[in-house]
């Protein structure tokens, strides 16, 4: 089996993992703390494997095509945050769900959108080039977005010191990935290590969602009605993102392949980069992490539709 085949059918791996996690958590309720303990090193390994595929040292390369870079920044960091804010306002979610929706919809994907761009006949070199810019900007802008859009009273009640590990579990793998990239630049034969690590995000993410499902099975069952209401919201986001990408591409006169790549960038979100933050929220906010997992599954099914619709109907 090729790596591309694994990534094409990854949604089924995640569904199986969630089912196993829920079954294990239901059968052995006391296993939750152990699964939470295993979750953190697994999540750190996942983030390292993901960041290692991102050419973080080449942010400037993304700016060489200013028109395409401008389209991505306009879509991902202006229009889609406004769309996310509109959705949470219109649907009037409770505070926890609102935060989960904002966390997952405000940050663009830095990994599997490249795979889906390839499957959807997009411009893969530009997808790769724009990825580090997406990563850097989201890390800078996410706190600002949350300050503007989340409930100020509830955010003020948190003990922010308890969220420090969530920041570290993102920044430490990111720093390790940067060091590994520098190492590969000085030792070209080590490029095989990057290729090997490219196989790991799917199995590691499968293990992450299994551990979350097992540890949070009680939360999932209590919030099942709320979670079902999330699905139409995330479907609406996917549809709107594709249409907004089409509008931007027309206005900026992007080539068809670049328009497809823009659509995949805007349609995919960076769920497991914000997952550590959601997992460390105060007691009573556990649903936020489950919302992020639900969005990831909806998005993956949505990408199956994107791969067919984007090149055949929207960007012919």
- 243-298 confidence digits (pLDDT tens): 999 999 999 999 999 999 999 999 999 887 888 888 888 777 888 888 998 999 89
Region 26-49: mean pLDDT is: 90
What is the token pair recorded at 157? 């009640």
Fold of the domain spanning 3-314: Na+/H+ antiporter like fold (1.20.1530)
Confidence band for 56, pLDDT divided at 50, 70 and 90:
low
In the predicted structure, residue 23 carries a pLDDT above the cut 90: yes
160-212 residue pLDDT tens: 566 677 778 888 988 898 888 888 888 777 778 878 888 888 899 899 989 98
Q: How many CB atoms lie within 10 A of CB 136?
A: 16
Does the global pTM surpass 0.85? Answer: yes
Q: What is the 3-state secondary structure (H, E, C) of 176-214?
A: HHHHHHHHHHHCHHHHHHHHHHCCCHHHHHHHHHHHHHH
Query: What sign results for the dihedral spanned by CA atoms 210, 174, 164, 89?
Result: negative
Q: Is 290 within 8 Å of 216 (Cβ atoms)?
A: yes
Could you tell me which residue, 30 or 266, shows the higher pLDDT?
Answer: 266
Q: What are the residue boundaries of the structural domains of the chain, listed by start?
A: 3-314
Per this entry, what is the length of the chain?
Answer: 316
Place of tokens 């790549």: 261
């Amino acid at each position: 089996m090729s790596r591309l085949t694994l990534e094409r059918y990854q949604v089924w791996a995640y569904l199986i993992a969630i089912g196993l996690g829920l079954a294990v958590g239901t059968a052995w309720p006391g296993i939750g703390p152990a699964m939470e303990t295993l979750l953190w090193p697994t999540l750190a390994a996942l983030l390292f494997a993901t960041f290692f595929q991102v050419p973080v040292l080449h942010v400037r390369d993304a700016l060489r095509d200013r028109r395409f870079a401008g389209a991505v920044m306009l879509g991902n960091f202006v229009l889609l945050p406004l769309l996310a804010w509109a959705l949470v306002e219109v649907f009037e979610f409770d505070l926890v769900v609102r935060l989960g929706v904002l966390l997952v919809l405000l940050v663009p994907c830095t990994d599997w959108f490249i795979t889906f761009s390839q499957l959807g006949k997009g411009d893969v070199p530009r997808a790769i080039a724009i990825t580090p810019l997406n990563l850097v900007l989201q890390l800078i802008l996410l706190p600002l977005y949350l300050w503007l859009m989340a409930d100020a009273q509830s955010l003020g009640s948190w003990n922010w010191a308890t969220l420090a590990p969530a920041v570290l579990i993102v920044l430490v793998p990111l720093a390790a990935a940067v060091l590994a990239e520098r190492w590969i630049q000085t030792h070209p034969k080590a490029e095989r290590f990057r290729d090997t690590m490219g196989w790991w995000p799917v199995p590691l993410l499968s293990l992450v969602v299994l551990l979350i499902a097992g540890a949070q099975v009680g939360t999932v069952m209590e919030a099942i009605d709320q979670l079902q209401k999330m699905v139409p919201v995330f479907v609406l986001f996917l549809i709107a993102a594709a249409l907004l990408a089409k509008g931007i591409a027309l206005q900026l006169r992007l080539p068809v392949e670049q328009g497809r790549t823009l659509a995949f960038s805007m349609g995919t979100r960076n769920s497991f980069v914000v997952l550590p933050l959601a997992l460390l929220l105060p007691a009573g906010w556990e649903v936020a992490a489950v919302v992020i997992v639900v969005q990831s599954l909806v998005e993956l099914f949505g990408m199956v539709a994107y791969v067919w619709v984007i090149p055949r109907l929207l960007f012919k």
